[in-house]
C-alpha cells in the first residue's frame, strides 16, 4: 500500500491493536497488536538454516481458529497465518519484517495447539487482546486492501513455512507488539514471569510509528477518580517517588500515599504503554507515553526498521528473542 491507502490501513490497524501484542487489520489496514530496528546493535550470530529437514508435501498442520461466534474451524497453518499477518502488520512493511511476523505468529499458534492455549482446546481466537488478530483475505480486500498486498504477504508466509522459534527445545512465548518507543521491556516487569529470551533491548528506528510518543491530559479530579483516590491541594505535590524498569517503563509510582505498579496505572488510566512520564502543568496533569503495547518481545516497527537497514528475518528474530533457535517442524 502506498500514500493515502497506506495511511488509512495503518491507522485502522494501530488504532485497534493490542496494547499488548500488538496491530490489527490496521495493525494492518499497532498495544498490540509494527516495530523498530536493532540490526547495527546486535552481535548475535544467527543460523540461516533451520534445524531440521523440510517436511513432506501435504503435511501442513491443521490448526483451530475460534471465530467470533465461539465456533472453532480447522484450517491449514499457512492459510491461517496469511490472515493473521494481514491483520497484525501492514502489508507495505519490509518483506523480512513480514517474514519475522509470520514466524512469531506461527510459533504462537503452534504453542497453543501443543499446550491447549488460552482456550484449553488448542484453538487461537481472532481477538488481538487475547490471542492474535485475524482477517480473512476476502474481508481484507473489501476493507480497501489490494490483491497485490495479499499475494505479497502470502509469499512472505510461504517463505517461512514450518519454521518456529524454540528455546531449549520448547516452543517460545512469541510475544510481540506495535512499538516500544525506543526500548523493549522484560517479561518479568510486565507479567511477573522471567523468560531468558524476553529481555529488554534497545529498539531504534521506530520514530515514524503512529504512537511512538503520545500525550494525554487529565483534569485533577477526573485523574484522582480513575485511581480511586481522594486527592486535594496542588497536583504538583501528588506525585512521589517513581521507580523504573530496565526497559524504561514505570515499575512503581507513589501518588498521594498510595503505591501503584506501572502496569496498574496503565490499565486504570488507559495509557498506551507503561513507559510514561507524569507532570502537572497549569493545573492539569500531563502524561507522555513512549510506545504502544506491552513492549515485550518483538517490536513490529522495530522489525521493519531493522529490515530497512538490511537485516533478514532470522537476524530480526534473534535480536528480539535472543538465545532462541529457528527450527523447522515436521507435521
pLDDT band at 63 (very low <50, low <70, confident <90, very high): confident
In the predicted model, what is the mean pLDDT of residues 87-105?
Answer: 97
Q: Which residues of 232-261 are buried (b: 16+ CB within 10 A; e: fewer)?
A: eeebeebeeebebbebbbbebbebbeeebb
Note the pLDDT tens digit of each residue in 100-142.
999 999 999 999 999 988 898 888 999 888 999 999 999 999 9
Predicted structure pTM score:
0.81
Query: What number of other Cβ atoms are within 10 A of residue 24's Cβ?
Result: 31
At 70 the pLDDT is 79
At 60 the pLDDT is 63
Q: Given a cut of 90, is residue 15 above it in pLDDT?
A: no
End-to-end CA distance of the chain: 34
Helices and strands: H and E segment counts in the chain: 11, 14
Query: What number of other Cβ atoms are within 10 A of residue 96's Cβ?
Result: 23
The rounded mean pLDDT for the chain is: 85
Amino acid at each position: 500500500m502506498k500514500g493515502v491507502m497506506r495511511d488509512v490501513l495503518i491507522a485502522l490497524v494501530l488504532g485497534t491493536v493490542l496494547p499488548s501484542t500488538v496491530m490489527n487489520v490496521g495493525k494492518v489496514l499497532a498495544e498490540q497488536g509494527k516495530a523498530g530496528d536493532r540490526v547495527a546493535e546486535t552481535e548475535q550470530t544467527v543460523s540461516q538454516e533451520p534445524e531440521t529437514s523440510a517436511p513432506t508435501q501435504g503435511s501442513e498442520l491443521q490448526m483451530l481458529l475460534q471465530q467470533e461466534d465461539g465456533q472453532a474451524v480447522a484450517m491449514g497453518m499457512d492459510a491461517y497465518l496469511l490472515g493473521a499477518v494481514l491483520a497484525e502488520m501492514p502489508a507495505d512493511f519490509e518483506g523480512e519484517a513480514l517474514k519475522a511476523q509470520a514466524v512469531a505468529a506461527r510459533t504462537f499458534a503452534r504453542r497453543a495447539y501443543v499446550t491447549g492455549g488460552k482456550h484449553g482446546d488448542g484453538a487461537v481466537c481472532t481477538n488481538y487482546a487475547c490471542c492474535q488478530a485475524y482477517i480473512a483475505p476476502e474481508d481484507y480486500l473489501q476493507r480497501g486492501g489490494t490483491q497485490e498486498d495479499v499475494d505479497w504477504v502470502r509469499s512472505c508466509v510461504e517463505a517461512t513455512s514450518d519454521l518456529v522459534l524454540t528455546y531449549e527445545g520448547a516452543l517460545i512465548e512469541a510475544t510481540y507488539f506495535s512499538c516500544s518507543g525506543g526500548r523493549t521491556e522484560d517479561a518479568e516487569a510486565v507479567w511477573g514471569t522471567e523468560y531468558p529470551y524476553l529481555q529488554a533491548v534497545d529498539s531504534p528506528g521506530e520514530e515514524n510509528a503512529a504512537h511512538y510518543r503520545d500525550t494525554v491530559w487529565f483534569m485533577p479530579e477526573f485523574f484522582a477518580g480513575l485511581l480511586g483516590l481522594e486527592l486535594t491541594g496542588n497536583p504538583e505535590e501528588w506525585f512521589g517517588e517513581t521507580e523504573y524498569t530496565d526497559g524504561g517503563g514505570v515499575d512503581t509510582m507513589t501518588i498521594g500515599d498510595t503505591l501503584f505498579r506501572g502496569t496498574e496505572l496503565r490499565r486504570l488510566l488507559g495509557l498506551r504503554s507503561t513507559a510514561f512520564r507524569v507532570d502537572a502543568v497549569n493545573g492539569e496533569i500531563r502524561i507522555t507515553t513512549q510506545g504502544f503495547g506491552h513492549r515485550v518481545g518483538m517490536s513490529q516497527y522495530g522489525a521493519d526498521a531493522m529490515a530497512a537497514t538490511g537485516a533478514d528475518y532470522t537476524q530480526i528474530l534473534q535480536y528480539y528473542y535472543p538465545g532462541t533457535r529457528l527450527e523447522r517442524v515436521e507435521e
